Structure formats: C-alpha cells, structure tokens
Structure 1
Amino acid sequence: MHIIKFGGTSVANPQNILQCISIIKNKINNGRVAVVVSALGGITDLLLSAALDASAKKLNYKELYNEIEVRHVDAVAGLIPEKNQPESLQNVKQELEHLQTLLDGCYLLGELSERTKDLILSFGEVLSSYIMAEALKVQGEDCRLADCRELIRTNNRFGRAIVNFEITNLHIQHFFDKNRNTVIVLPGFIAQSEDGHVTTLGRGGSDYTAAIVAAALDVPHLEIWTDVSGIYTANPKLVKQARSISHITFEEAMELSHFGAKVLYPPTIQPIINKNITLTIKNTFEPEAPGSIITRQVPEESRNPIKGISNIDGITLITLEGPGMVGVSGFSKRLFEVISKESINVIFITQASSEHSICFGISDAEAPKAKAAIDVEFLFEIRQQKIKPAIAENGLSIIAVVGENMKNHQGLSGRMFSTLGRNNINIRAIAQGASERNISAVIASRDVKKALNSLHEEFFEESTVQLNLFVMGIGNVGDKFLEQVQQQRKYLKEHLNINVRVIGLANSRKMYFDEYGIALKDRKALLENGEPSTHTGFIGAIKRFNLRNSIFIDNTASNEVAMTYGSYLKQSIAVVTCNKVACSSAYSHYSELKSLSRQYSAPFLFETNVGAGLPIIDTLKNLVASGDRIRKIQAVLSGSLNFIFNNFNESVSFHDVVKQAQEEGYTEPDPKIDLSGVDVKRKLVILIRESGYKMEIEDIENRSFLPQKCLDTQTVEDFFRSLQDNATHFGDLYARAKSKGCRLKFVATFEEGNAHVGLEFIPQEHPFYNLEGKDNIVLFYTDRYADQPLIIKGAGAGAAVTASGIFADVIRIGNK
C-alpha cells in the first residue's frame, strides 16, 4: 500500500490535478494507493475570509463565495468529460449550496463560532477529494472516495482537534480491509468529534491526515507531494542559494517545521515516528527530483552538523522581571499556568541565571491577551514593586539553526552569533535545548532576510562569500572600477570564491538599485532612468535592503559624501573610499571613524587615499602592527605633480602640461587642489596618522611654489589663465633646477614630529631623481629600516590604477 498526499498547490487547477493523476498511475503499477488531498490551492483562505466577512455583516462574502464556486465548477469542466459532467456538477453544486446556506446563516446571525468555522472550512477538502476521485474514475481507475469524517475521531477542540488514535486506527483499518479498490481518495484536514461534529486538524492538517492513515495501516513509506523539492536548508524565497536537504532525521524535521519550515506540518511526524515509517517530501512538478527523505537515522555521509536554518515571524517577546523573583520559588509555575489557561502556545523560553527575569516568545496575535492575564495574576507583586508589569516587545522573529549532530561539534554557536554580530543583527534573546539540536535567537523581523542569508553563507556556502556593493560616483574612477568588476566577476567566483554584486549606483543626479544585482553592461541606461539622487535616499535604500556584506564605495571627491561615512559604519556597512577628505579631516573625526569601524565590525578601507593602487597604507599598517616604529617619511605623493614636472621643459609650457594632466585624469577635477599642495598635505597627514601619530592637516607646513595670484583664483578657468600669466615664474623654476643638475619634485616630509610639503630640487644621487611619468615613491625610515629605507614605488595616478586599488580593498573584505 502506497500512501501519498498532495498539497493545495498540487491540486490548484485541472492541469495540476492531471499531473497528480499521472503520479498516482505510476504508483498503481506497484500496488494499491491511498491518496490524501488538500483543498484546491487558496480555497481554505477564501472559505475563512468569506466566513469572517459574513459574520461581520460584510456583503463581500458573496463575491468570495462566487469565486469558490467558479473554481470548483471550472475544475469539474476541465477534468470530467462533458457526457459525465451533469452528475458530477450536481454533486458539487449540492455541496456548494450547503456552504452558501452556512455563510448566509453567519451573515444573519452576525457571528461565527469555532464549530461553524470548522464546518465551513471542511468544504475545501470535501470538494477537492470528490473531484479527484471522479477524475480518476473517468480515466478508468478502480477508485473509491473515503470520508475522513467517518474515519478519524477527535475531541471537540475545534480548529486544532486532538485525535483519538485508538478509535481512529480501528476505523481506518476496518475501512481498508473492507474496501480493496486500487485507489482510495481521502480528504485531508477534516475529522469528526465523538459527538458527531465536523472538526479540523489545524492548518496544514492534510499532512497530518496522511501520517495518521500511514501509521494506522503500518506502511513502510509515506510520500508528501508539494510544490518544492523537499525540505530546504533555508526558506528559498528569502535565501536564493538554499538547497534541498537530501536526508534528515525525524527530530531535525520536527525542529525545522516547528521553526517555520512550512513544507511540513509539525504534528505530521508524531504518528509515524514510533512506527519508523520513512517520510519523503517530493515535488509534484519535478517528480524525478529526489526530494527529502526523513528517517530515524541518516547515512553517515549525510551527517553534516547543521541541517537547516529556519525562522518564525510575527513573534512578541513577553518579559517578566524584577528583584522579587530572585530566590522565590513558584514564579515560573504561576506564569506558565496563566498562559496555559489562556490556551496560548509558547514558542520560545529563556531565563536569566540570576532568576531576575524570564521571557518567552508567542505569536503577535496572542500578545495582548497574554500581557493582560500576566498583569492580573501578578497584580499584588506589581503593586509592591517586587516585579514590573509584563513587557511586550513585538516586531520580532525567531531564527533557529538546526542539526541533530550539533552537540558533537564545538564552536557552532560562536560562529552563529559572530556572524550575526558582524552583520549588525542585534539578538534580543537566546535559547538552546539540552539536546543541543537547535540554537534559537530572537531578532528584529526586519533583519530576518539578512540573518538567514548570512547564516546560510556561513554554514552552507563557506567556499563562497557574497559581497553587495553600493557605488557612489561613476566618473573616471567609478566607471573604470565597474568595468573591472564586470570583467573579473567570473574569475573572483571561480578562483577566490567571492561573488560580487553591484546593488546600487549613484551619481550627482540619479541613483538606481536592483536587489538581485545590476546588469553592469546596461549601467548607464539604467542609471539615467533611475530616481533623483540624494545622500539620505542612498543610505536609506541600503538600510532597507539590509543585505549581508554590504559595502559602500565612494568614488567622489565630495566633502558632503565623506561626512556620511559614520552613518554607514554604524549600520555595519563597510566603507571603501578613494576620497581623502574624511581621513584628512579633523583628527577627532578620523579617530571616530576608525573607532566605529572596530565597534561595528565594519571594514573602513582607504588604500587609494595615498598612491592610488600602490600598497602604501597596507604596508604601513603591517609595519605598525608588527611592532615597528615609523621615524621618518619622505615621499613624492602626487602622481599628477610628478607627471607635470617630468613633462615640463623649455619647449612645453607649464599651462599646457597641467592641462594635459587634467585631460588624462591625473589631477583632481580642479587642478589647483593638486598644484597648491592641499592634496599632498592630505595624503601626508593620512600616512602620519596611520603611523600612529596625532596630527592635524594645519600642522603641516605648505611651501607652495604657486604665485599668490594663482592661489587666489575662484574658478578652474581663472586658474588656467593665471598659469599662462605667470609663465615666466614657472620657467625660472625649471631653469634654476636645470642649472644645478637637479629635477623638480614636490616632496612630502615627516620627521621628529614636524611635517612639510613643497617643491624641491632633487640631485641625481637621490632616489627621487629618476622617478618617471606619474609614479609615486615613499621612503619609510623605521626602527628596522634605519639606514636603508623601505621603498614603495609605482604608478600613483590615473583612473585605472585608482580603480584597481578600490577593487583590491573590496577583495580584502571578501577574503576576511
């Protein structure tokens, strides 16, 4: 005997029902089949809504009834040949007329008892099982329709009745002994109380019906067919990387189903676990997929410590606390007796070891009733201020990491909580059973998606890290960066196990987002059609997406953007920037950003602030971290100025060289920032601070080579005119250097607490003399490199190398 059950989606329409019949026919080849069916997909919700609307005197119930009628009539028309339809339609409409009478009665009385509700909800399974049986008959199958209201006996707990297994098992066994048809179709979900009233087994109760039948008949195997290929490692609607679990134990399945894995109704396990009946979850629409097998034990090769991550939404945390609880016995007993009397289901419990507080999680709907009952029970203690009134916090969810073998693996809870912490997910309460089969935590509902994805990545995708990038500024540097991401995505995934997605883009006018990753080849068109860009709107969108491993990338030179970094870091959003403003601003602000980075475990990387793509800051950090001390820094830090002075000579005017540097992207949009020494001062102060010294940018002496008239200009155009007007001044500088056998270099120096920047005449024997093109060079004199400095040299300007430095910082984050 095969016992198979089809869920609501599987029997949602005639096409789906035909797919179910095809599966049934394959089973018939190997023996008799008992088929348990749910109501047509969505019908139970329509029945409940119609009943509630009718009892609330809302005439909308009639429209809902009409929709229910059309669905079932269409199902008959789509499955039963026209010559056989009259009888089938007559029986269906007879049941529907009964349903209409009940709904009209609810409207007239203006009430809906739990008993009547169960009766109304039963029509979904009654009708679907009849239509399934008739469809099998017209295809020539030896089929009989059973009525679970005659087979399953329960108490009068309407809505979620408790089964009397002793009587039920006898009824089921007698029916199947008496009726030897090849196919028996049974309606799931419904039963009958011992005094003759229709009851239901709870939402999802059709699974339970199938398990009851399987246990009564003591079959070796039960199959539940649904719209997914088994139990998943996480909710696939929230975690795209979730995958089907091939083999799982009964206990693990119960834990996952209890904590929200909706593919399986939790009580389903109860009847079959003692009989050791194998349960398989299969996909009606992919019948060849293996699905999930649930047994008492699983093969050794399937013994991964973590089997799944699940969640329950709509949780309220009720807390009872106060000094009057410490050392006083009976508080917990009184508390949970009150909850029990109110028939409130407790999902989660935890108590402080100090006995100062106890909290538990319940559904949001039951929270007001629970708080009121608790406050009444403990009114005397509350008035004496021994305890506080019950505190109810809603907007919460429970996440649970589940695995039968967790107890044999150390550090799993540490990995769970550190992963949540890194992603700025605050934990309100924690519980772990003595069986160590699950670790549960209460978090804000808004963080569920990020938590599930973060934990899934930690426990199931350790080889791949997903980075979600939000890029502001797509000019020269930004566009090159996006080109590099587009080009290297496949390589990073295959060789470094880093999956990079660009989720948001912004320039000064527009911003555009795609939660599943922007198609970078279409980035310009997508951005042009985006929404108006604002800094608050951009960070607001990142917060709403609330994605794990989010990275904000600043490719601008904007003061305003640089001042927003703290807002990102406080949300545990990493910041990668080539913008030097933040790190060269007031030391207190620089220090605060570094502190926020540590506090919120959010990387703050700015390698490109100095030397574009050169590993200058990273090398400096490693020197300091290893215990070395920086004594002196001497550097040419402006690739643009080095390019300018390397190309400036008697035959090329200073103006023309600066113009060329600007056009080729070596200078800031306003070249005066480079030529005035401001940019070099910023870079030097960053190096000094990263060396462990406290210094303000104003403390650095600027020995400017520009005439005052050049410095006083207000626009870029005026600045270039001033360069032409002062051509003689620049010519004299070049002539003086040449006469001494020197070359002009703009040098930054720090030594013994003093720092300055300025144009210097560099002799031939100096390491700076042969610095060509747009290269940078830095000499670090340290305790370990006292006589011969540590030298870092290479291209220090240009959009491509700067973009590569930003990309390198992103990869650093991924590798962590």
Structure 2
Amino acid sequence: MKILKFGGKSLAYNGGFDKVLRIIQDKVENQEKIAVVVSAIGNATNELEQILEAASKNKSYIKQLETFKKEQQGNSTADLSSEFSLLDKLFEGVALLGDYSPKIKDNVLAQGEVIAAKVVTEALQQKGLNANFSDTRLLIKTDTKFGNAQPLEQTSRKNILNHFKQHNGTTINVITGFIGSNVNNETTTLGRNGSNYTASLIANYLEAEELQNYTHVDGIYTANPDLVKDAKKIERLSFNEANELANFGATILHAKTIVPLIEKNIPLRVLNTFNHNNKGTLITAMSDNEGIKTLSVLDNVALINLEGRGLLGKTGIDARIFRVMADNEISVSIISQGSSERGIGIIVAADKVTKAIVGLEREFENDFYNKDVSKITANDDVAVISIIGQDLSTFHKPYTALIRNKIVPVLFNNTVTGKNVSLVVRKAQTHKALNVIHGEIFGVAKKINIAVFGHGLVGGTLIDQVLASAANIEKIKGIKLNIFAIGNSKKALFNKDGITADWRQEIQQNGKVYSVDDVIDYAEEHHLENLIAIDNTASADFIENYIPLAEKSFDLISSNKIANTVGYAFYQKLRKTLADNQKNYLYETNVGAGLPLIDTIKLLHLSGENITKIKGVFSGTLSYLFNHFSVENRPFSQVLKEAVDKGFTEPDPREDLSGNDVARKLLILARELDLQNEFEEIKIQNLIPEQLQQGSASEFLNRISELDPLYQSVKEKQQPGYVLRYIGELSGDLQQDKGNLDVKLVSVPGNSALGQLKGSDSIFEIYTDSYGDQPIIIQGAGAGASVTARGVFGDILRLSEKK
C-alpha cells in the first residue's frame, strides 16, 4: 500500500482540487492500493485561527465565518452542517467568555481537516470510487497536551490496523491529518504541519510501500525556490539529511515525520500535485552522494542574550538556563557561548520569547541584585539559515562570501559531526544571505549584479559587450553577469532579472528620474548580492557617490579618472572607506585604456621593487597627432583636423591639447606608488598658445591654422632622425612623499622605443632598480571606446573571480 498525503495548497479549489482527484483516480485505474491523508483546504487553518482571535477579543467575526463556510463548501455536495454548527457554537462561547483554552482551539482547528476529508470523500464517490471518510479522532489516541499532542503508539497502531481490516480491498480511506483525540475522546492536534506526521504514522503502522507527500513544488530544493531563483531540485536525500532539514525549518516536512519512516525503512517521496508526472525528491536510508544538500530557514525565532561580567568563571549557568526552558516547555534550537560563560545566546521560537524572558528573569533575580548578570535581552529581528551537509573544513567559503556582501552573522554553530552549520542573521538580510550562500556553495553560476552609470561611447559599448558575452562567460566561468540598472545624468532603467539588448529604447521610453540612492535602495529591496557599480561618466560630481556605494556593499569600477586625481584627502578617504567595508576599486582603464599598466605597477610596488622612473606617451589622441606630424610633410592643423574628423579627440580638441588628461593619468600612477602629489604640482606644457585658449570650440577650429608656424618651427629645430612625442614623466626620489611630475613635448630619437610608436598607440617605460637602464615596456592601443570598454570588462571579470 502507498500512503498519499495532500497539503492545503494542493486541495485549494482554484485548480488544485481537481488535480488531486485526477491523481487518486489514476492510481486506482492503475490498480494501486492507496490510502489518502488530507490537510485542511487552502488556508483554512489560519483563517480559523484568525476568527478565533477575533471572537476572543469581542470583535465582529460573523461575516468572516460565513465567508469561510462558503469558501470551504465551494461546489461540493458534502454535508458539512455538523462541522459548521459546531464552529458556530464554539465561536459564540469564545465571544461570550472573551478567551479560549488550548482544548477549544484544537477543537476549532480540527474542523478544517474534517471538512477537507468529507469534501474529498464525497467528490471521489461522485466519480464512482469506493471512498470512505476516516476520522483520526477515532483512530489516533494521544496524550492530553493540546496543541502538540503525542500519539499513544500501541493503541493508535491497533486502531489503525483494525480500521484497515474493516475497510480494505478497493476502499480508498480518506483520512483526516493533524488531529487525534485523548482517552477522554477530546479532540487534540499534533502540532505544526501535523498532517505529515499523521501520514508518517499511518505508513509506519501499515508498513506501507511508500509515503507520497504531494505539495505545490516539484520536490525538495537546494533552497526555497521562492527566495532563490537558481535553486535546484534534489533528486535524493537520506533520512538523516531530511530530518536535519525538517528540524531547521523546511516547511515541506515536519520534524517528527521522518522517525516513523526510519523505523520501518519506508521511502518518502515529495511530489508536485500540479506536475505529478515529475518524479519529485525521494528520501530513503541512503543518499546519492555526500556534501552540502540544501539551505533551510527558520524565521519565526528570537535570540535571547544573557550577559554579565559576574558570570566569568562561574559554572552551571547554562544548566540553569535549560532548566528554565524545560520548565516552560520551550525548545532551544541553537545555543552559543564563550568558555567564560560571560555571555550566552539561545534561539527559541518567537512566540515563546516572552515566557522565556520572564522565566530567566525570575531564575537570575539574585544574580541581577548582585550585579553578576547585567542584562537579559531578546531580539526577534533574526532568522536562522542552516546549511545541511556543510563541513567546517569548507565553511570559510560561504562565510567569506557573506562578509564580502556586508552580511555579518550574529552567531553560528555546527553539529557535533560538523556536517551541518547554522547561521543567525538579521531578518532583513535573510533573502540576500540565502542567495549569497547558495551561489557560493552549489554548482550553479555565481550571480554578479551590475549597475552601469553612463552609457555614452564607452558605457554603451561595455553594456553591449557584456550582453553579447554573458552566456559564454556563464558557461565557461560559472559567472552570471546581470546588469540590473543603467543610469545616465537624468534617467535610469531597472530590471532585477537583467536588462535586454533593446536597453537603449527602453531607457528612453521607461527610464525613471533617479538618484544613486534609488539604485542602492533597489538592490536592497530585491536582495541583490555581489554588487558592482561602474562609473563610465566623466563627471566630477558623480565621484561623490563612490563612498555611499562602497558603504552599501558595492565594489567599484571606473573609467572616470577624476576620483583618483582630485585632492589627496578625498583619495585617502575613499581608500579608507573601501578598506573598512572590504570593497574593491578597479580602474585599470584610467591609464592606458585596456593595457595592463596599473596592475603591473601595483604588483611591482607591493613586491618591494623600487620604481625609479615612469615615462611614456599617455594619450592615444596626442600619440596619433605627433606620430603622423613628425614623419609626414603636412601642416600641424591638417593632421589635427584629421584626428578630429576620425573622432580621436574630444569635441573641443583643446581638452586633449591642454595636457590635463595626460597629467591626470600621470598623477594616478604616482599615487599608486603612495606619493602624495596634488594635481596643481604637476608641470604641464599646454600645447595651445594663450591667444587660442579662450573662445568656443568652433572658433578654435576655425583658427587652428595659426598653430602651423609654431609647430613647424619646433619640428625643424630637431636633430636629424628625431621625432616629437608628448609625454608624461614621473621622476625624482620616489621613496619620499612626493615625486616630480612633468607633462611636456619632447624630441626623441626615431629609433628609440618612444620614437618607433605608430598609430594611436600608447607606450609606457617603467624603470626600476632591478631592471637598471632597461625599462619594462608596455605598449598597445591606448584609446578608443571599444578598447576602453574591453578594459572595464576585464575589471568586471577580475572582481567577479574575487567574489
């Protein structure tokens, strides 16, 4: 025989109920011998509890009760008059007394299961099936602990066996879950999710072939799929793993369900009523493999802390705490304490916390008076996340991932075997914490959530590059890049599941006026983990957002040079904020576009290598300009106009010719060597004569021929075989606080490294003590939206690997 158990969501009239009937009918047609255990229909138990509370507080409940009756009856022809009449009398009595006992509550809640069993029985009979209503109040006998009664095994077993002898063959026994009765025939309930327990007991008593638990999901997942989108179904679990999962909050199981099945080695299969062709999750004595199986959550809990310096060195404190818990019938799921016992934390059910505090204050009254105990506090703003199958030897991985995402556990503990670890976190961080842990420990892609600010040439190219490469990166690297926000100076586009290829049109049509705080709030609201903010603007104002972004768990990437070249005080403050919050800031494209320059200098400096000088052609624009002008018989203005027409310069080419961009890049490298130079200290040769520095860009472009005599003269004064290059140079004693920074036009041999530069390439010479007169040379494309965007993309991947 197989025992089929159906939950409330499966039995709901809006689609599930007919599927339940179809499943049962299919089993009968396949000549399977079955019994059916049912929970209350839909949300009946909670609704009955709400009506009970309203009646006890003398609030109006009649309308709510009538709605309940109508919904439970539905289109069923089952006679529910006795159940409805009993509820009328019970609620009327509660309203008169203004209170109710646990016994009354059990009697009220039991009607949900009775109604469900009668309705299912009637529906099956109408389909011509031999269904029999089976009331477990006549079968399962319990103690008198209302609300969480314990079955009297011998009597219950005997009653069940006799009942099935009487109703056997083709009979389908439709059995009420959750309820029983004591020796005085008073209705009792078996506690939270007790219908699963009922089904498990009956399977044990009848030595069933299998217990099939039908729910609204395909089985047991690596995490709650409502909270973790990437959760995967588990094909198989062991009884021990399922028991741990049940004890640590899995609503699909009851903590007591597993034991009766273990006794008789009866498999439990968790199936989906709405997809019953799926094989679900099978729970047996053996698991498929070792390792972490799933994450579960207990969120209806509270943390009680007992603190006091006077407890230092005293023994027996924990024994007194547990005595209070035992006297008040309060279960402790987690305890954490130091060896000194000066601080002890315990996790209990949230609805028991008041009773626990009162009991502890009474127990430690003298300790308060003697000031040995300073305070006993409760915090219900917590949740417990349990990692089932976690070995402490690898626990550092999910723990480090949590810290990187600014989720600091309040406490954690592990079982003696070291195979399960529980973390207590702030309730508001539960959802995000689940996603962080799940992404770290299961073989699914690690999700990186990205906000891109600025979508001009570089930013727009980057977004397109990420979208084009995302699928391949996920396949090869196991990293899922998800751009959840794109912002320009006015509007932003949000999509927690990732923007699509038509983002340009969407931001025009659906973009919203925003601030950076809105992006931060959106990430928090949707529990997004592994956050990266990318600044592809050229805004001096936007860098003020770096610090709040880092404080809110964003790592930073920037092609904007300004944050690294403003005052040294801000530079230091940003670094301190990044360090305090354990965040990274990558800006490889600030100098040399996509060339690996900054990383190389960082590595050399960190390794203790003494860098003595850095010089090079920092600007791809000016590289193009002087590479061509030096060797071609053309006026300077003609080469400049060609560079403008090809889009190599800024709209106002004086921004390139002023040398400020090269100066900023040089300053960035100086600060990588811990030099404290300010921008104002850089000697910059402005390539624009004074008379052309004012006026509009168009006016300047109309007068660029005035530059020709100046630069033709400079070109002709060179030694034979020499060429012009506009360079940045860092020199001096670089072991001091400041170095010498020069940006200038120089003449160099045409056969030198600088002199042989072609096109718009950049080149950098790094001189060190170890390399002597032979510098490290880094050369390549130093400009262009595609190259810069690819460099930013590289920073994204570097950060993603660290997360």
TM-score of the superposed pair, with normalisation by structure 1: 0.92
The answer to whether the 8 A contact 1:315-1:364 is kept is: yes
Could you tell me how far 1:659 is from its partner in structure 2?
6.8
Displacement of 1:509 in angstroms is: 0.7
Give the C-alpha shift of residue 767 in structure 1: 2.4
Letter of the 2:216 counterpart: D
**1:325/1:356 contact within 8 Å kept:** yes
Aligned position for 1:155: 143
Aligned partner of 2:727 in structure 1 is 747
Match of 1:173 in 2: 161
SS in 1 for 2:74: helix
Q: What are the equivalent positions in structure 2 for 1:517-556 lying under 5 Å apart?
A: 517-526=498-507, 528-556=509-537
Task: Tell me, in whole angstroms, the C-alpha distance in 2 between the residues paired with 1:736 and 1:216.
Answer: 103
Partner of residue 11, structure 1: 11
Q: How many residues align structurally?
A: 790
2:216 equivalent among 213, 227, 247: 227
Please name the residue that 1:733 is paired with. Answer: 711
1:337 aligns with 2:323: yes
* Aligned 8 A contact 2:595 2:780 in 1: yes
Q: Which residue of 1 is the match for residue 399 of structure 2? A: 417
The 2-side partners of 1:14 and 1:466 are apart by 35
Residues 496, 719 of structure 1: alpha-carbon distance in 2 compared, 3 angstrom cutoff:
same
> Could you say which residue in structure 2 is the equivalent of 1:51?
52
Note if 1:265 corresponds to 2:254. yes
1:101 aligns with 2:102: no
Are the structure 2 counterparts of residues 15 and 364 from structure 1 closer, same or farther at C-alpha, using a change threshold of 3 Å?
closer
Matched, 1:191 2:172: no
Alignment partners' CA distance in 1, 2:653 and 2:524: 36
Counterpart for residue 564 of structure 1: 545
Cα pair 2:654 2:688 within 8 Å, conserved: no
Residue 428, structure 1, aligned to residue 410, structure 2:
yes
Residue 357 of structure 2 corresponds to residue 383 of structure 1? no
- Of 447, 451, 455, the residue aligned with 2:433 is 451
* Aligned match of 2:699: 721
Contact 1:710 1:723 in 2 (8 A): no
Instruction: Note the alpha carbon deviations across 1:264-319, whole angstroms, 9 max, x for none.
Output: 12221132222222211111122222211212222xxx223111111111432111
Of 619, 629, 651 in structure 1, the residue corresponding to residue 610 of structure 2 is 629
Matched, 1:113 2:101: yes
CA contact (8 A) 1:10 1:226 kept: yes
Residue identity opposite 1:551 in structure 2: I
Structure 1 residues 446, 106: closer, same or farther in 2, change over 3 A?
A: same
Aligned residue identity for 2:419: R
Who is 1:64 aligned against?
A: 64
The answer for the alignment partner of 2:766 in structure 1 is 780
| Structure 1 runs of 4+ with >6 Å offset | none
Partners of 1:258 and 1:134 lie apart in 2 by 36
1:150 aligned counterpart, secondary structure: coil
- TM-superposed CA distance for 1:193, in Å, is 2.1
Residue 590 (str. 1) matches residue 567 (str. 2) = no
Measure, in 2, the Cα distance between the counterparts of 1:320 and 1:282: 44
Letter paired with 1:432: N
Q: 1:410-460 CA deviation, whole Å, 9 max, x = no partner?
A: 622222322222222101111112132311111112222222122212221
Q: Which moved more, 1:561-570 or 1:738-747?
A: 738-747
Change in Cα spacing, 1:659 to 1:72, as seen in structure 2 (3 Å) is farther
Alignment gaps of 5+ in structure 2: 733-738
> 1:686 aligned to 657, 660, 668, which one?
668
Whole-angstrom distance in 1 between the partners of 2:59 and 2:651:
66
Q: Is the 8 A contact 1:14 1:75 kept in 2?
A: no
Which of 277, 280, 284 is the equivalent residue of 1:291?
Answer: 280
Cα 1:191–1:423, aligned 2, differ >3 Å: closer, same or farther? same
Matched letter for residue 773 of structure 1: G
Amino acid of the residue matched to residue 86 of structure 2?
H
> Which stretch has the larger CA shift, 8-17 or 144-153?
8-17
Deviation at 1:360, TM superposition (A): 0.6
Q: Which of the numbers 555, 559, 575 marks the counterpart of 1:574?
A: 555
Contact 1:629 1:691 in 2 (8 A): no
CA distance in structure 1 between the aligned counterparts of 2:199 and 2:149, rounded to whole angstroms: 16
Q: Which residue of 1 aligns with 2:735?
A: none
In structure 2, the residue matched to 1:39 is 40
Report the Cα offset of residue 15 of structure 1: 4.2
Secondary structure of 1:446's aligned partner = helix
Report the Cα offset of residue 545 of structure 1: 3.5
2: CA distance, partners of 1:36 / 1:695: 77
Residue in 2 aligned with 1:485? 466
Q: Distance in 1 between matches of 2:580 and 2:92?
A: 62
* AA matched with 1:21: L
Residue 52 of structure 1 aligns to a residue whose secondary structure is: helix
- CA deviations 1:479-512 (Å, max 9, x no partner) are 1111111211122122232211101111111122
Partner of 2:736: none
Q: Could you say if the C-alpha distance between residues 710 and 344 of structure 1 is closer, same or farther in structure 2, counting changes exceeding 3 Å?
A: farther
CA RMSD of aligned residues (A): 2.4
- Alignment correspondent of 1:810: 796
Deviations for 1:35-63, whole angstroms, at most 9, x for unmatched residues?
Answer: 0011111122222222222222222x233
Structure 1 CA distance for aligned equivalents of residues 645 and 344 of structure 2: 68
Q: Indicate if the aligned counterparts of 1:710 and 1:719 stay in contact, CA closer than 8 A.
A: no
**For 2:422, what is the secondary structure of its paired residue?**
strand
User: Following the alignment from structure 1 to structure 2, what is the Cα–Cα distance between the partners of residues 519 and 367?
Assistant: 48
Tell me the distance in 2 between the aligned counterparts of 1:514 and 1:4: 41
Match of 2:204 in 1: 215
Closer, same or farther: CA 416–489 of 1 in aligned 2, 3 Å? closer
CA distance in 1: counterparts of 2:292 and 2:253, whole angstroms? 18
Q: Are residues 1:241 and 2:219 paired?
A: no
- In the alignment, the residues of structure 2 paired with residue 644 and residue 533 of structure 1 have an alpha-carbon distance, to the nearest angstrom, of 40
Output the TM-score relative to the length of structure 2: 0.93
Partner-residue secondary structure (3-state), 1:814: helix
1:121-132 equivalences under 5 Å are 121-132=109-120
| Cα distance in 1 between the residues matched to 2:610 and 2:525 | 44
Work out the CA distance in 1 between the residues paired with 2:742 and 2:669.
Answer: 13
- Aligned pairs for 1:495-514 (under 5 A) are 495-514=476-495
8 Å CA contact 1:151, 1:168 repeated in 2: yes
Name the SS for the 2:489 alignment partner.
Answer: coil
1:508 alignment partner, SS class = coil
Q: Deviations over 1:508-545 (max 9, x none)?
A: 11122221212232343245423212133233333444
What secondary structure does 1:367 align onto?
helix
Q: Is the 8 A contact 2:7 2:38 kept in 1?
A: yes
In structure 2, do the counterparts of structure 1 residues 709 and 263 end up closer, same or farther at CA, with 3 Å as the change threshold? farther
